[in-house]
Amino acid sequence: MLTRTRAKHVTALALLLFFGILPLLPFFLIVYHPFTLKPATCQDWDLYGIHVYYSSPGVQGLFTIDRTYGSFPFWFVKLIDVIWDLFVGRGFQWLAGWVSYIVFSSVLLRTIEESQIPFRTFLKLSTETPSLTSVWFLLKDMPRFSRIRLILQFSYIALASSYVLAMPTLLSAITGYMSKSTSFTKLPGSDSLVRSSDFRQGMMVIGNLSGVAPGTCYPTDFFQGLSIHEIESCTRDCWVDSSPNTNFCANCPDPITINGQNYTGKELSEALEWNTDINWDTFCYGTTGFHLSIDSWMQASECLPDPDKGGSSYQWGFSAPSSSIVLIVQLVWGCSMYIIWLEAQMKSQLIRKGYRLNELRGAIAFAAAAEAATGMEASELQSSSVGSLEKLLYDKRATVDSSVFSRELPFADTEIVQVEDKRGRSSSPTRQPPAYSRLAGNSNFS
């Protein structure tokens, strides 16, 4: 039979696995370079197979959604975001708050056996899950502890509680949605941004060509579907020293039609601009030509939402660097919570004898301690003003000690054990006797 003690330890290990290890392992196994911000690219256009990308250097990169998926309308990515925040963010916070109460109440029982506890600290840890007020009261009561172990212990509880409170915000910050972007390029010599896809590789007219003004740029698809290399072969390479080179001219159209006008290869060889620098190419925007290298192109380009194209389509994803940090913090939180819980389970006499603190018992114990500290009956406490009670109970000399448990609370949740007879068969379950008669006496508050 699985006893209550064993069941508690099995549950604790399962929670550690669920909270700390399971989210971490698949993430680092699946995500490539999780601490490196992946530049987001504009997938609508590329230059020689290189996509325009945008990145956020420094701290900005922690808040950049760099791993995105899908192509959805706005309402759908917003729905995903709401479901994530509601069920994952708030759901994990609720579970973490429940775990925190169990751990902190166990630590409280362990501590109160050897040291007195301020009323505010006892009230918050015994009756509430982590909250802003509990963190604030823990910090206010911190100077009342003189022992280093207690200061470190309650400092950790305040820090761990703060993490539980921040959990929905952190889980929301690592995910998000963004509109699909389009590559825009700044026109050389101006501040105007135009779609990069409107630029097309072409040839510039710099000589005399009938009906064409010098400086006019023609995209390569104006040359009867010839590629840039075929245009060079049929014009520049074909006509050398005013005579055709049959090695290059054999398969060339003659004449070559450009924008409805017919030209010979010889005319084009003398009128077109020939690039002898491998570091740049000619690109046409309309009929205007620009000389651009890959580096200058990337520097002049950026990814921006395009209402006519990508602005109505969205992607949902997460930030790999910030997700990595949050998952590591989650693992540290889970392991540290398990360690202090395990220490309390092993060393607390109350817990070892089967006592379990819950919100109801915490409230009853607080009321009993308040009666003992003020010398008032319950009816007198009820009729007293809140201000006067706070002044009495939150005074530096007012504390809660372990006697309140042995005096007021029965051990109703002691562990059920099986008693075996001589033949190895289990008899009826019996309860262990109460432990309050063996509790440690009051000790100094320090």
Quick one: pLDDT band at residue 171, thresholds 50, 70, 90? very high
For the chain, give every domain's residue range.
4-30+65-176+318-430, 184-307
- Reply yes or no on whether the pLDDT at 16 is more than 80: yes
Quick one: pLDDT band at residue 44, thresholds 50, 70, 90? low
- Check residue 23 and give its pLDDT: 83
Quick one: pLDDT band at residue 411, thresholds 50, 70, 90? very low
Compare 198 and 435 and report the one with higher pLDDT.
198
Quick one: pLDDT band at residue 333, thresholds 50, 70, 90? very high
Share of the chain above pLDDT 70, in %: 79
- With a CB cutoff of 8 Å and minimum separation 6, the contacts of 383 are none
What is the DSSP code string of 342-398?
HHHHHH-HHHHTT----HHHHHHHHHHHHHHHH---HHHHHHS-HHHHHHHHTSTT-
Compare 245 and 383 and report the one with higher pLDDT.
383
Compare 166 and 311 and report the one with higher pLDDT.
166
- Reply yes or no on whether the pLDDT at 140 is more than 60: yes
- H helix runs in 240-300, sequence order: 246-249, 265-271, 294-300
- Check residue 318 and give its pLDDT: 87
Per-position b or e across 117-140, b if 16+ CB within 10 A of its CB: bbbbbbbbbbbbbbeeebbebbee
- Reply yes or no on whether the pLDDT at 34 is more than 60: yes
pLDDT tens for each residue of 172-181: 998 988 777 7
Rounded-to-integer distance, Cα 397 and Cα 399, Å:
6
pTM for this structure? 0.68
Rounded-to-integer distance, Cα 85 and Cα 316, Å:
13
Average pLDDT, the chain: 78
SS3 (DSSP) at 210: coil
Compare 244 and 118 and report the one with higher pLDDT.
118
User: Does residue 23 contact residue 326 with C-beta atoms inside 8 Å?
Assistant: no
pLDDT tens for each residue of 177-196: 877 777 788 888 788 888 88
Rounded-to-integer distance, Cα 218 and Cα 210, Å:
14
Strands 416-417 and 50-54 turn out to be: unpaired
User: Does residue 301 contact residue 66 with C-beta atoms inside 8 Å?
Assistant: no
- Reply yes or no on whether the pLDDT at 86 is more than 70: yes
Sign of CA dihedral 303, 305, 310, 315: positive
Backbone angles phi, psi at 178, to 5 degrees: -150, 150
For range 142-158, the mean pLDDT:
90
Quick one: pLDDT band at residue 236, thresholds 50, 70, 90? confident
Q: Which of the residue ranges 248-257, 276-285, 433-442 would you say has the lowest mean pLDDT?
A: 433-442
Q: Which of the residue ranges 72-76, 126-130, 199-203 would you say has the lowest mean pLDDT?
A: 199-203
- Check residue 339 and give its pLDDT: 94
pLDDT tens for each residue of 340-373: 999 999 988 888 877 888 888 888 888 888 887 7
Other beta carbons within 10 Å of 299: 12
